[in-house]
């Protein structure tokens, strides 16, 4: 098919939102083209986000464990050395394997992949500046905008991805910095801070709020993970604002002040990681050519079926409302295609899990205590510590807990919060329970294999409606 032929659907952006929508559309028999300017598919998540960060988190954890946690297990190791270049190569191999995998899936599902930058010429036409030179255009009966997000810059600091970095620089440093200061104790700050702390950097996290973890993390869980990360060597300055920075010298200087006013102080670092959130990315899309506007936070405004005020133009993923998560983008992609082909779609925004891939991991789904209190909901709490779980104990990896929040009257699960080994896998069980409207008694009366970490999940449920056995 020639690119100028009219498609049933044109997608701008080949990240998780865009590529999943393209594959699903192909499966549904739509004639579909996906435009991506990066040169590879997979967007932020596969190229510079979820995947490379998890590769570095996994391998830096192994390195740290071999250095500090083998003797007591009966394993004497010799000279342990970091080969950062090889660690980065391992990351690149994972990334390129996965991004090429999507190209294969495009071919398999008949999706036309156009490498270039898409700009609206009119409501049905997208002009494309091709990566390999030249221009073309494509017309679509339907168009999906899936252009994602970018790191929010810190005013006054120039991002060079070497000395002042975002997560993109943090997955590609050529050497371990001596001192790293992280602005923002959210998920990116803690994940990437963990990587470089394990590899030997002295890491200080400066967070404006009184707790780490970013939006949504339960206060008890946040305290617990902060304690553990502190033991691993990370330092925290909470309730502290970065006022301004100076990156003109070899090091970067930051002026800090207590959030509620107080004595100012200056810190210095070889590398500063700016991790204060991400913002929707719609630059160069030519929204002005079709009269579409963004809200005060840069998000494209949509209705419940992902439609803009021009009904055949839809928006999904990071560039619109909701949590900036890959699996949220993926759910929206499938639902948007179903709205186009079948007139119905479904995403349960109340049951989207969050995972922070530190060690131990933190994972949650549903509401936390603050949110329930604010909503005036009466709830009960049940917890179980991994220190009382047989598998965690045999693995010598027993920090953390599982915490259930359930409706005080009906016992229906309202939230599950976990800090502990494999929390990111375990939260799938909590998400399923929430999605099915389960009570804690439903979970507590379900057999869980022994000895597994998942027994901590069952026992925390038991502790909510009755009593745990092993605590």
Catalytic residue annotation: 450
Residue span 357-376 as binding mask against ligand NAD, x where in contact by CB under 6 A, dash where not: x-------------------
CB of 318 to ligand FAD, least distance (A): 4
CB of 277 to ligand NAD, least distance (A): 4
With CB under 6 A as the contact rule, which of the stretches 76-84, 228-236, 277-285, 399-407 interacts with ligand FAD?
Answer: 277-285
Among 209, 310, 351, 388, binds ligand NAD (CB under 6 A): 209
Query: 143 φ, ψ to 5°?
Result: -135, 135
With CB under 6 A as the contact rule, which of the stretches 42-50, 82-90, 297-305, 337-345 interacts with ligand FAD?
Answer: 42-50
- Pick the closest to residue 151 from 48, 295, 246 (CA basis): 48
- Pick the closest to residue 272 from 345, 384, 169 (CA basis): 169
The strand pair at 149-151 and 354-356 is best described as unpaired
**Number of residues engaging ligand FAD in binding (CB under 6 A):** 35
With CB under 6 A as the contact rule, which of the stretches 96-104, 120-128, 184-192, 332-340 interacts with ligand NAD?
Answer: 184-192
Residue 414, C-beta contacts closer than 8 angstroms, at least 6 positions apart: 366, 367, 372, 377, 379, 405, 406, 407
CB of 379 to ligand FAD, least distance (A): 27
Nearer to ligand FAD, 318 or 459 (CB): 318
Per DSSP, the residues of 217-238 read --HHHHHHHHHHHHHTT-EEE-
CA distances from 423 to 125, 135, 229, 304, 353 (A): 45, 47, 16, 31, 11
Q: Are 12 and 145 contacting, i.e. CB atoms less than 8 angstroms apart?
A: yes
With CB under 6 A as the contact rule, which of the stretches 11-19, 94-102, 120-128, 178-186 interacts with ligand NAD?
Answer: 178-186
**Beta-ladder partners of 404:** 382, 416
Could you say whether residue 206 binds ligand NAD (CB under 6 A)?
yes
Neighbours of 453 (CB within 10 A): 24
The C-alpha atoms of residue 434 and residue 82 are separated, in whole angstroms, by 42
Nearer to ligand NAD, 357 or 386 (CB): 357
Nearer to ligand NAD, 30 or 273 (CB): 273
The C-alpha atoms of residue 396 and residue 391 are separated, in whole angstroms, by 9
Q: Which residues bind ligand FAD (CB under 6 A)?
A: 12-18, 35-38, 43-45, 49-50, 53, 117-118, 146-149, 167, 188, 281, 284-285, 317-318, 324-327, 329
Q: Which residues bind ligand NAD (CB under 6 A)?
A: 183-189, 191, 206-209, 214-215, 241-242, 275-278, 323-325, 355-357
């Amino acid at each position: 098919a020639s690119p100028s032929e009219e498609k049933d659907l044109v997608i701008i952006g080949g990240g998780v939102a865009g590529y999943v929508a393209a594959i699903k559309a192909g499966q549904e028999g739509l004639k579909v083209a996906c435009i991506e300017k990066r040169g590879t598919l997979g967007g932020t998540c596969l190229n510079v986000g979820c995947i490379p960060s998890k590769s570095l988190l996994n391998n830096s954890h192994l390195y740290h464990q071999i250095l500090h946690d083998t003797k007591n297990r009966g394993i004497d190791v010799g000279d342990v050395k970091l080969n950062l270049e090889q660690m980065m190569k391992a990351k690149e191999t994972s990334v390129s394997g996965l991004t090429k995998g999507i190209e294969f899936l495009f071919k398999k599902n008949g999706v036309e992949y156009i490498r270039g930058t898409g700009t609206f010429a009119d409501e049905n036409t997208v002009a494309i500046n091709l990566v390999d030179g030249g221009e073309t255009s494509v017309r679509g009966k339907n168009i999906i905008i899936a252009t994602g997000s970018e790191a929010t810059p810190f005013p006054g600091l120039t991002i060079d991805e070497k000395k002042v970095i975002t997560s993109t620089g943090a997955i590609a440093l050529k050497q371990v910095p001596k001192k790293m200061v992280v602005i923002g104790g959210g998920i990116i700050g803690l994940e990437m801070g963990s990587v470089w702390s394990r590899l030997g950097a002295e890491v200080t996290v400066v967070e404006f709020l009184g707790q780490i973890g970013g939006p949504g993390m339960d206060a008890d869980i946040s305290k617990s993970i902060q304690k553990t990360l502190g033991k691993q060597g990370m330092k925290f300055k909470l309730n502290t604002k970065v006022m301004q920075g100076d990156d003109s010298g070899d090091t970067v200087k930051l002026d800090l002040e207590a959030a509620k006013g107080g004595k100012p102080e200056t810190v210095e670092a070889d590398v500063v990681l700016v991790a204060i959130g991400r913002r929707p990315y719609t630059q160069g899309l030519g929204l002005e050519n079709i009269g579409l506007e963004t809200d005060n936070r840069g998000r494209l405004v949509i209705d419940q079926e992902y439609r803009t005020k021009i009904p055949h133009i839809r928006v999904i993923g990071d560039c619109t409302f909701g949590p900036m998560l890959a699996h949220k983008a993926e759910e929206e992609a499938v639902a948007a295609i179903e709205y186009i082909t079948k007139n119905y779609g479904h995403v349960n925004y109340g049951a989207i899990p969050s995972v922070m891939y530190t060690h131990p991991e933190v994972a949650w789904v549903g509401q936390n205590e603050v949110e329930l209190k604010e909503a005036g909901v009466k709830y009960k709490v049940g917890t179980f510590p991994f220190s009382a779980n047989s598998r965690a104990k045999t693995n010598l990896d027993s920090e953390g807990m599982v915490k259930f929040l359930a409706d005080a009257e009906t016992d229906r699960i309202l939230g599950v919060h976990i800090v502990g080994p494999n929390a990111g896998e375990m939260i799938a069980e909590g998400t399923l329970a929430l999605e099915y409207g389960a009570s804690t008694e439903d979970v507590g009366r379900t057999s869980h294999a022994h000895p597994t970490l998942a027994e901590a999940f069952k026992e925390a449920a038991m502790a909510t409606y009755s009593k745990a056995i092993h605590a």
